[in-house]
Every structure is written in C-alpha cells, then in structure tokens.
C-alpha cells in the first residue's frame, strides 16, 4: 500500500500527565472494578503505545500526540456495558479514518469483556465523509468481513502490535 503524506505538517500535542490510578482497595480485593474512561484510554494508547504510527512513517507520533483520541472523547457506562470512542482525524480528507477506526474497534473487542457494546465514530464535523465512515465502522458484517481479509488483518495487527524502544 502506497500512501502519500496525508497531512505533511500535523500539529503535535504534548502527552498528558497520567493520573495515578488509585490502589485497589484493601477492603475487598474481589470487588469488580468498573471500567472507566481512563482505562479505555490506556487500553487504546498506553497498552499499545503506538496504535497510530502505522503507515505514517513520516509521523511517528501516537494518536494521543496527534489528538486523534483524547480521554474526553471516550464515553463509558460500565453499568450498561457501553463504550463510545469519538476520534478526530487530523485532516478532513484523512483516507486512513476507516482503518484507524477499525483498529480502535479491534483493540476494544480484544480487550473488553464480550458483554460490551462498542460504538466508534469520527468527531462531528471532522471528516468530509463523516456519515459514510461512521456507518461503515459500525456495520458489524463489514467489520467481520474486513477482519477475514488477510492483508487488512495484517495491517490491523501491525498497528496494534506493541512497539519497543
């Protein structure tokens, strides 16, 4: 796959200071800890570190540094087993929007309990074909078919693979 430089001069943001997660309460070590926004954010970024340096060799920045994903754009309702991630492509015509969204979905499917319902969307107004991208990302039949495509799956796995160094 040959990709031109989609956004030659992206704005790079500082990584946010992490909150320190509270130590598990001693009172009940078996208590179920609800999943919250920060945990989803960590799943999407910290745990994998480099979900989005893929195919942007010119821009070895994480989705966080490009502000493609922010913690504010993650909604979680653990009680209802629901997560919605809203991401912001760096440019309106980002041709990678669907693949970024697919990676986010796959990462969440692989990380969260199966009871979770996941919606992925691009931020309102952030993409030229917003409705089409959102529709495709949330059609599970298309997602299932895409993940049976070996080259697409390789690309997703490459994106999600931990990077070192």
Partner 1 sequence: MEFVDGRFELREIQKLEGHSDRVWSLAWNPATGVDGVPSVFASCSGDKTVRIWERSHSTGSWDCKAVLDETHTRTVRSCAWSPSGKLLATVSFDATTAIWENVGGDFECVSTLEGHENEVKSVSWNASGSLLATCGRDKTVWIWEVQPGHEYECVAVLQGHTQDVKMVQWHPTMDVLFSCSYDNNIKIWADEGDDDDWVCVQTLDEPNNGHSSTVWALSFNSSGDKMVTCSDDLTLKIWGTDLTRMQSSDGYAPWRHLSTIAGYHDRTIFSVHWSREGIIASGAADDAIRFFVESEDKDGLFTSKVDGPTYKLLLKEEKAHDMDVNSVQWSPGEKRLLASASDDGTIKIWELAPVPC
CB 33, min distance to partner 1, A: 21
Question: Is residue 109 part of the contact set for partner 1 (CB under 8 A)?
Answer: no
Name the region of 67 (left: φ>0; alpha: ψ -120 to 50; beta: rest).
left
CB 141, min distance to partner 1, A: 7
d(CA 81, CA 113): 9
**DSSP for 138-153?**
T-HHHHHHHHTSHHHH
Question: Is residue 114 part of the contact set for partner 1 (CB under 8 A)?
Answer: yes
d(CA 148, CA 126): 29
- Cβ distance to partner 1 smaller for residue 66 or 83: 83
- With CA atoms as reference, report the closest residue to 78 among 36, 114, 44: 36
Part of the chain binding partner 1 (CB under 8 A), chosen from 7-15, 33-41, 87-95, 131-139: 131-139
- CA distances to 19, 23, 25, 39, 113 from 29, rounded to whole Å, are 21, 11, 7, 18, 19
Tokens at residue 26, please? 């001693």
- Cβ distance to partner 1 smaller for residue 69 or 85: 85
Part of the chain binding partner 1 (CB under 8 A), chosen from 43-51, 86-94, 97-105, 140-148: 140-148
CB 31, min distance to partner 1, A: 22
- Cβ distance to partner 1 smaller for residue 24 or 157: 157
Question: Is residue 139 part of the contact set for partner 1 (CB under 8 A)?
Answer: yes
d(CA 126, CA 32): 37
Question: Is residue 140 part of the contact set for partner 1 (CB under 8 A)?
Answer: yes
Residues that bind partner 1 (CB under 8 A): 114-115, 117, 135, 138-142, 144-145, 148
């Amino acid at each position: 796959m040959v990709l031109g430089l989609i956004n030659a001069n992206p704005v790079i943001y500082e990584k946010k200071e992490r909150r320190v997660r509270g130590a598990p309460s001693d009172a009940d070590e078996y208590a179920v800890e609800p999943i919250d926004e920060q945990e989803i954010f960590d799943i999407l970024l910290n745990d994998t570190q480099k979900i989005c340096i893929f195919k942007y060799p010119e821009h070895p920045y994480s989705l966080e540094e490009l502000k493609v994903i922010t913690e504010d754009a993650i909604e979680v309702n653990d009680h209802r087993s629901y997560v919605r991630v809203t991401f912001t492509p760096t440019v309106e015509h980002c041709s990678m929007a669907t693949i970024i969204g697919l990676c986010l979905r796959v990462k969440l499917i692989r990380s969260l309990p199966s009871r979770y319902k996941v919606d992925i969307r691009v931020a309102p107004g952030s993409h030229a074909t917003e409705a089409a991208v959102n529709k495709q990302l949330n059609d599970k039949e298309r997602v299932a078919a895409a993940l049976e495509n070996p080259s697409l799956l390789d690309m997703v796995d490459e994106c999600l693979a931990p990077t070192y160094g």
